Structure 1
Amino acid sequence: MAQGSAHLASDYQFWLQKLSVWEQASSKETQQDTCLHLSRFQEFLKQMYEILKEMDSNAILERFPTIGQLLAKTCWNPLILAYDESQKFLIWCLCCLMNKEPRTSGESELNSWIRGLLFHVLSTFRFNMKEVGLFPESLGYEPVDYCPRLLKHMVSSLVSELRDSHLNGVNTQSRMAPERMMSLSQVCVPLVTLPDFEPLVEALLTYHGCEPQDVLSPEFFEAVNEAFLLEKCGNMLLLFYRKKIILPVSSVINLWFRHLPSLEKAMLHLFEKLFSSQKCCLREMECCIKESLLPQAACHPSFFRIVDEMFRFVLLETDGAPEVLAALQVFTSCLVEALEKENKQMKFSLKTYFPYAAPALTALLSQRPEAIPQRNRLQPLLHISQLLREAVEDHTHGDSGMMDPPPREGLKLRPQQGPFESWFLFVHFGGWVDLAVEQLLRKEAEPPEGLLWLLAFYYSPQDGSQRRVQTMVELKLLLNRLLMMLQSDSLSAMDLQKAAESPSADPRPPVCGQLVRRLLLSLLLWTPEGLAVAWEAVTHMAHTDALTHEITGFLDQTLYRLNHLCIEPSRKLARELLQELCPQV
């Protein structure tokens, strides 16, 4: 290497002087002189790369202190860049200068400067530069035609080399060296948003070597993920986005497999969209979730566990906020749809997705409630209730003699392994709660205890057994009053409001109040008698901003379900009520 460095140094000053002359004049004679020396300069670049690749960046700068000046002058000479081989070796030389793990501000600034040169080299041919006119014209091209073709040719060559390297597998002589893969990925960091580079980005994402650690730069994964995710634009106070790069689903999933921080960031971006200050209806939630490609990725159990843990954390942090519950249920619905579409049910068992739950319970919950005939819906609901009750009450059996805690303000979730895990599994599949309410409002049926327990557990998972029994008793009394009123000749909104009030002197806890309002709203929307007085009853109920927000959330959830079931006239009424109440939220 010493002999090569000495030979390189002998030509070094000659080419540095030549480059200075070429950049100071743009006459036809200068262009001709450049073209005359191009083959020799290209050989010089090749020899320089062969020597530099054996040295680290600090050693290079010590041995050749003005090499940055030489390479920068080369980068700004369009006639040199017109040769794709010259461009290729120039890129590799620049990559050799980059410090793989910068530790000082000076090293970081040098890396940024080199990335700027790389961006210029690889993007300059997207424009019509008159200076390159002499070279392409001699080949029979117009510059505007030649330059994009040159860039595409170089990208195509690199893609072919990557694919050949990937196919060679364990053949180490034919496989691309890890150091070169790392350098290539670093080169692409500032260029991933250029459309011409999408094939190269895709090829890098699908490349897998035999090394124990990934051979691509973490900055490359982060840049691709940022380009794929929706970028902020428009009103800076609100979060609206547009996509900057289009990649196949398989490439995006490969990205997340190889760089889990990118998956986590994709989930955070989704949360930011779903829970922004502007209220997001469930249909918009569904579009955002499907567009994110996260349900397709979550078909793989390892991805699902990460996504599910992030939902779990948000639920605990927000004490089960209705918006988070709705988002989790829509996401689960999209996941089930993706599983069905990709036919992966046989590939992974449901136990893999929900390891803490009984397989029988998971199998029941994963069914689509709407697909079950009306006459057969009660039995699976009771079976779900029985399995959940066994899991919850068996876990808390040792504490059954303890006093229940006093009512709390709102839903306060506590991550106990048994009850919380059972509740967390259940809330993934919110359609069963809707089905339970429908069954309870059937006039010809006595309210089954199993359904009463199911609703009490869904709305108050933190309650102990004594308080849950008390809620079930109150719920049954309320249902009996409501069903008796439905059988009367005339039904008024005021009568319904009075029937929903607590018969005892103690006010209901807020969570129990949510359950009562849900029953009342369901009765108004799902029974012929209730439809007639729905407008007046909802107006009486929505007398505060908090209650209006809660009611619009329920109406949106109902409308989302009815749109999927195509049920009228309830769908028409829910839409009209939403339009009336939304300006007040």
Structure 2
Amino acid sequence: MDSSLCSDLESSGRPSRRDVTILCLEMARDSADLASDYQFWLQKLSVWEQSSTKETQQDTCLHLSRFQEFLKQMYEFLKEMDSNAILERFPTIGQLLAKACWNPLISAYDESQKFIIWCLCCLMNKEPQTPGESQLNSWIRSLLSHILSTIRFNMKEVGLFTEILGYEPVDYYPSLLKNMVLSLVSELRESHLNGLNTQSRMAPERMMSLSQVCVPLVTLPDFEPLVEALLTYHGREPQEVLSPEFFEAVNEAVLSKKMILPASSVVSLWFRHLPSLERATLHLFEKLFSSERHCLREMECCIKESLLPQAACHPAIFRIVDEMFRVVLLETDGAPEVLAALRVFTWCLAEALGRENKQVKFALKTYFPYGAPSLTAVLSQRPDAIPRSHRLQPLLHVSQLLREAVEDHTRGSPRDAFESWFLFAHFGGWVDLAVEQLLRMEADPPEGLLWLLVFYYSPQDGSQQRAQTMVELKALLGRLLTLLRGERLSAVDVQKAAHCPSADPRRPVCGQLVRRLLLSLLLWTPEGHSIAWEAITHMANTDAVTHEIVGFLDQTLYRSDHLCVAASRKLARELLQKLGAQV
């Protein structure tokens, strides 16, 4: 590593190589100390197990606080490892925890119970691949059932009861645990139904304690009914009665697919714990915007699987998710993949609202508070559902409303312009219709359509810049339509027609708009089909432009049921396969 870089890191507060080395040595020393302590406590537990004399009991009580501290350190170490690595490092860990479980002087204390449970959960293999792993999971569940039963029942009474019934503990405890969970679920539901009857409601302190006990257990199938009942419980307390750690544990388990809860329970979780909603949204962004490019169909599947569109039917959740989209758009300077994801998310939300089969409970303004209500109402209509012969007037109306919001100097501001563009970006189907309408017109294009496209691709421009781009766009359309009326269309002529000498080369957004028109021309006109691949290979002269063209072709396929004839769908698919092989 360069010495100047090291000094920069040190001056910026980041760890230097010396700090990292010291940290690694400390971690190695801690690991060695833990291994030594492990052997000590395994021997101690074996001695305590073999004798129940008064001296042994006194020795147990004398060492109990140290043993609890060891269990805490062990858990902190184990939680960073998977179950196979744990068993490789500590092959007798099961014996140690089992001896601790069955020692009544140890399991009688809440702290001991908690750390034993947490350590046992670290040993669970979430996706067992072999019979041995499944058998180990079953054995761990029996230990968990035993120690959890001791929390609520006197072990001497349980032992006598099972002996009379002829049950073995390994058979009895899982059933007892299941009944405990069902009993608590019934109690929670009755408490919820009792409403303001405080005498019949579960105390907030008990709710908090119960949620804390569940933290390491949320992924166990036996506990799912209890987790669901806790999430859907709504008391009358002014403050949250469940532990934040409980919400975080459930959210992580859901995101990692280690547990499956009903959608209503997940939505309730996100309502009650804002950090979980933010984490779920970031988790979705990580999947959508990873280094591997996703097509829109894959994006749609990811978005639907996340349950966020269903949750976002409530404006409070939608506003938070939408705000996070806004931040990502600003940080990426309007990256095409982010715009595409926003558009697909909005479509999934509309589908979720329609699936409820009810009248909309909330006004559109509650979802989009910064946009003019009239503009929001028009944009939220499905543009593809408008008959082709009647699309011009709605498009011009959208353009007029946007232009009034953006260029009205009595109230306009840069924030108003961005908010209008951000609202428009949710409903990108209007842009597709505007491009199609321009390429199908025989007469001069209306100024409103030109303004709509220029604003979408260059929202940061002022009125004068936008007016100049509109002039260039109109001239380009004229040259393209002239070519279409000619006898033969060639890729070279199309490239020449697209060249605008007066265009500012420092404005790549204008280049995106030009390429959008050329690609649409190639796909939507029979004359363009024969030269499409040659023209695209000329355009795709950089990786960024190639990815942009791939995105357009993918978007065309995604919307093919609404906009494209069969020939265009087939051509778009063939071009996408050829171009996709090169990126």
Would the TM-score normalized by the shorter structure come out above 0.5? yes
Distance 1:120 1:271, change over 3 A: closer
Output the CA distance in 2 between the equivalents of 1:538 and 1:501. 15
Structure 1 partner of 2:534: 536
Instruction: Find the counterpart in structure 2 of residue 433 from structure 1.
Output: 431
- Amino acid aligned to 2:377: A
Q: Separation in 1 of the partners of 2:341 and 2:331?
A: 15
Q: Assess, with a 3 A threshold, how the Cα gap between structure 1 residues 490 and 225 changes in structure 2: closer, same or farther.
A: same
Equivalence map 1:16-27=2 (5 Å)? 24-25=49-50
Segments of structure 1 that go 5 or more residues without pairing to the other structure are: 1-18, 34-62, 99-109, 232-242, 400-415
CA drift of 1:529 comes to 1.4
Which residue is 1:442 aligned to?
440
Q: Which residue of 2 aligns with 1:504?
A: 502
Of 275, 279, 288, 1:274 maps to 288
For 2:516 and 2:283, how far apart are their aligned partners in 1? Answer: 31
- Could you tell me how far 1:208 is from its partner in structure 2? 1.5
Residue 342 of structure 1: which of 356, 362, 365 is its match?
356
The equivalent residue for 1:173 is 199
One-letter identity of the residue aligned with 2:321:
V
CA RMSD of aligned residues (A): 3.5
Matched, 1:306 2:331: no
State the one-letter code of the partner of 1:251.
S
Partner of 1:250: 264
Equivalent residue number for residue 569 of structure 2: 571
1:552 matched to which residue of 2? 550
Are 2:219 and 2:253, in contact at CA under 8 Å, matched by a contact in 1? yes
1:374 & 1:141 partners in 2: Cα distance? 75
- Specify the code of the residue in structure 2 equivalent to 1:185: S
After superposition, where does 1:67-106 map in structure 2 within 5 Å? 76=99, 94=110, 97=111
Distance in 1 of aligned mates of 2:371 and 2:421: 10
Q: Distance in 2 between matches of 1:183 and 1:118?
A: 19
5 Å-filtered alignment, 1:181-330, equals 181-229=207-255, 231=256, 243-330=257-344
Deviations 1:199-251 (A, max 9, x none): 0100000112221111100000000000001x3xxxxxxxxxxx111001110
Determine if the alignment matches structure 1 residue 126 to structure 2 residue 141: yes
Residue type at the aligned position of 1:126: R
Counterpart Cα distance in 2 of 1:451 and 1:354: 24
SS in structure 2 of the partner of residue 569 of structure 1: helix
Return the offset for 1:456: 0.3
1:485-524 correspondence to structure 2 within 5 Å:
485-504=483-502, 507=505, 509-524=507-522
Please list, as runs of the form range in 1=range in 2, the aligned pairs for 1:398-477 lying within 5 A after superposition: 416-477=414-475
Distance 2:45 2:501 in 1: 94
Identity across the alignment (%) = 73
Amino acid across the alignment from 1:555? L
Counterpart residue identity of residue 49, structure 2: Q
Flag the 1:331–1:118 CA change in 2: closer, same or farther, 3 A. closer
Alpha carbons of structure 1 residues 74 and 385: separation in structure 2 relative to 1, 3 Å: closer
Over 3 Å counting, the alpha-carbon distance change for 1:430 and 1:159 in structure 2 is: same
Which residue of the partner structure matches residue 580 of structure 2?
582
What do residues 273-320 of structure 1 show as CA deviations (whole Å, max 9, x unaligned)?
A: 111111111111100000000011111111111111111111111110
Read off the aligned partner of 2:181 and give its amino acid letter.
V
Structure 2 residue runs of 5 or longer lacking an equivalent are 1-43, 54-60, 72-95, 125-136, 147-157
Tell me the distance in 1 between the aligned counterparts of 2:101 and 2:62.
24
Q: Is the 8 A contact 2:45 2:100 kept in 1?
A: no
SS of the aligned residue for 2:581 comes to helix
Q: Which residue identity does 1:485 align to in structure 2?
A: L
* One-letter amino acid matched to 2:141: R
Partner of 1:394 in structure 2? 408
Matches of 2:455 and 2:100 in 1, distance apart?
Answer: 72
In 2, Cα distance between the equivalents of 1:226 and 1:388?
A: 41
1:366 is matched with 380
1:385 and 2:414 matched: no
Contact 1:162 1:176 in 2 (8 A): yes
* Pairwise CA distance, 1:126: 2.7
* Aligned residue identity for 1:269: H
Residue 376 of structure 1, CA deviation: 1.0
Partner of 1:529, secondary structure, is: helix
* Shift of residue 68, structure 1, vs aligned partner: 8.6
Instruction: Write out per-residue CA displacement over residues 441-475 of structure 1, whole angstroms, 9 at most, x where no aligned residue.
Output: 01434311100000000000010111101111111
Structure with the larger helix share:
2
Q: Measure how far apart 1:166 and its partner are.
A: 1.5
TM, length-normalised to structure 1: 0.75
Kept in 2: contact 1:193–1:244 (CA 8 A)? yes
131-140 vs 244-253, which deviates more?
131-140
Contact kept in structure 2, 1:222 and 1:262, CA below 8 Å: yes
Alpha-carbon distance change, 544 to 79 in structure 1, aligned in 2, over 3 angstroms: closer
Change (3 A) 1:149 1:293: same
Please give the per-residue CA displacement for 1:104-139, whole angstroms capped at 9, x wherever unaligned.
Answer: xxxxxx97567447989998663499x999985752
1:484/1:113 CA distance change after superposition, 3 Å: same
Give me the whole-angstrom Cα distance separating, in 1, the residues matched to 2:121 and 2:238: 29
Mean Cα deviation higher: 200-209 or 337-346:
337-346
Distance 1:136 1:79 in 2: 16
The amino acid that maps onto 1:184 is L
- Offset of residue 509 of structure 1: 2.0
> Match of 1:494, as an amino acid?
V
Partner of residue 164, structure 1: 190
Which TM-score applies when normalising by structure 2? 0.76
Q: Note if contact 1:339-1:345 (Cα within 8 Å) is conserved in structure 2.
A: no
Residues 69-117 of structure 1 show CA distances to partners (whole Å, capped at 9, x for unaligned) of 7999998577799xxxx99xx78x51xx59xxxxxxxxxxx97567447
